[in-house]
Amino acid sequence: MILAIETSCDETAAAVYDTKAQRIISHHLFSQIDMQRIYGGVVPEIASRSHLEKIQSIVAHTLQQAGIESNELTAVAVTSKPGLAGALLVGFSFAKAIAWTHNIPFIPVNHLDGHVFSSHLEDDGSFRQLLYPHLTLTASGGHTSLYRVTGFGQHEEIGHTLDDAAGEAFDKTARLIGFVYPGGPKIEKLATENNFADVFKYPRNKTKPGKYTFSFSGLKTAILYDLAKRGYIDLATSKPTEKLTAQVQKNVASSLLVCVGDIFEKMLVRVFKEQPDLQGFAFVGGVACNEYLRKRLAAACKKRTKFFAASPKKFSTDNGAMIALVGSYLLKTGQVGTMESDIFE
């Protein structure tokens, strides 16, 4: 039984993975979104304090739900970099204390590896075997990266964003047109209501040959200037004008979503073409909650007879289950940490 703890950003999460049954048997989280919303983003100091307040009860609840006592644990996994230092430290110290008390392995797990292998989780928490090699796109509020995955626990980053993450394009654009963090779900809702109309035809970033890179900061700036040109935003304050009606908000949302869909699909098609041995594609991270993007990417895979997998929605945004799953791999392969391990190792 592996206990995993995740506190890299604004979610205090824990999960228990049963190594014999190969499944998550309990998972629980507290999201700070409502608390952080008023600041328009995540304030690191508030995040750390909230983790401190919640971690004890989240872990206790997760163990209780699993029906086990802490002395039945065989290892403790915890998120290491990347993340907010103060937030990571809370989970790290708590996990170390449990590992030290019970004299069991302490396993730091890279947060991004957690996202990459969340594709191997079924909705009910059981392990899902995928074909290899395959391509994985991690798209979240902090990261947008492409990986060539050659086995469970084995991967190589083959591309990433040069600036903003895809989730940031949703969050920042939503903010620009008057919505609070997180912007992704709101953009999806408005875009759906607008029937995914590409009204403004925002610029698709040009991919450079030989490199699998994304860029989303240019898109965000292009949207700002386009809105200003049309009189919907006051450029001096970046605040909406009275001309920014509900219909304009919908037009922005659907144009943005279709644009991101085009960017992702184009990249997927290109990588499949250049790496024909890829068996399929996995879509993970918070942005993978988006139904429109899932459907488009799934259709692109089907057309090329490649498999499509997405992390279950509850395991797409930050969660303890993905950390537990990777922790199980690291434990099995002897890649464990020590009491001297650091969050940024």
Instruction: List residues binding ligand KG4 (CB under 6 A).
Output: 9, 140-142, 167, 170-171, 182-185, 188, 285-287, 289-290, 317-318
Rounded-to-integer distance, Cα 266 and Cα 300, Å = 9
Q: 161: how many CB neighbours lie within 10 A of its CB?
A: 20
CB of 55 to ligand KG4, least distance (A): 18
Does position 318 interact with Zn ion (CB under 5 A)? The reply is yes
Pick from ligand KG4, Zn ion, none: which does 320 bind, CB < 5 to 8 A by kind?
A: none
83 binds, among ligand KG4, Zn ion, none (CB under 5 to 8 A by kind): none
* Chain CA centroid to CA 172, Å: 17
**Measured from the CB of residue 144, what is the shortest distance to Zn ion in angstroms?**
11
Residue 4, strand partner residues: 15, 77
Cβ-contact 120, 175 below 8 angstroms: no
As measured in angstroms, the least distance from the Cβ of 35 to Zn ion is 18
Q: What's the 3-state SS for 121-140?
A: ECCCCEECCCCCCEEEEEEC
Tell me the closest approach of the beta carbon of residue 9 to ligand KG4, in angstroms: 6
Per CB under 5 A, 18 contacts Zn ion: no
Smallest separation, CB 28 to Zn ion (Å): 17
How many helices and strands, by DSSP H and E, does the chain display?
A: 10, 13
By beta-carbon proximity to ligand KG4, the closer residue of 173 and 205 is 173
In this structure, are residues 324 and 24 in contact, taking their beta carbons and an 8 Å threshold? yes
**Residue nearer to ligand KG4 on the CB measure, 227 or 287:** 287
Q: By the 8 A CB rule, do 141 and 41 touch?
A: no
Smaller CB separation from Zn ion, 10 or 18? 10
Q: Toward Zn ion, which CB reaches closer, 115 or 186?
A: 115
CA 93, distance to chain mean position in Å, is 23
- Residue 153 touches which of ligand KG4, Zn ion, none (Cβ within 5-8 Å per kind): none
> Considering beta carbons, is residue 167 or 320 the nearer one to ligand KG4?
167
The entry of Zn ion, ligand KG4, none that residue 188 binds, CB within 5 to 8 Å by partner kind: ligand KG4
CB of 285 to ligand KG4, least distance (A): 5
Q: What order of strands is seen across the sheet that includes strand 212-214?
A: 212-214, 154-161, 144-151, 134-139, 280-284, 307-310
Quote the CA–CA distance of 287 and 44 in Å, as a whole number: 22
* Rounded least distance, CB 193 to Zn ion, Å: 28
Distance, in Å, from the CA atom of 306 to the CA atom of 309, rounded to the nearest integer, reads: 10
User: Which residues are 25's β-sheet partners?
Assistant: none
* Of residues 28 and 250, the one with the C-beta less far from Zn ion: 28
Task: Mark the segment that binds Zn ion (CB under 5 A) among 258-266, 275-283, 290-298, 312-320.
Answer: 312-320
Q: Among ligand KG4, Zn ion, none, what binds residue 141 when CB lies within 5 to 8 Å by partner kind?
A: ligand KG4
Min dist CB 108 to Zn ion, Å, is 16
| Closer residue to ligand KG4 (CB): 9 or 87 | 9
Query: Using CB under 5 A, which residues numbered 130 to 189 contact Zn ion?
Result: 140
The residue (of 140 and 251) whose beta carbon lies closer to Zn ion is 140
Q: How far is CA 68 from CA 14, 23, 101, 227, in A?
A: 14, 15, 16, 55
Q: Which region holds residue 104: left if phi is over 0, alpha if psi is between -120 and 50, else beta?
A: beta
Based on CB atoms, which residue is closest to Zn ion, 18 or 318?
A: 318
Q: Burial code of 98-133, b = ≥16 C-beta within 10 A, e = fewer?
A: bbeebebbbbbbbbbbbbbbbbbbeeebebbebebb
Report the partner that residue 317 touches, choosing among ligand KG4, Zn ion, none (CB closer than 5 to 8 A by kind): ligand KG4
Shortest Å distance, C-beta 211 to ligand KG4 = 23
Give the footprint of Zn ion on this chain (CB under 5 A): 140, 318
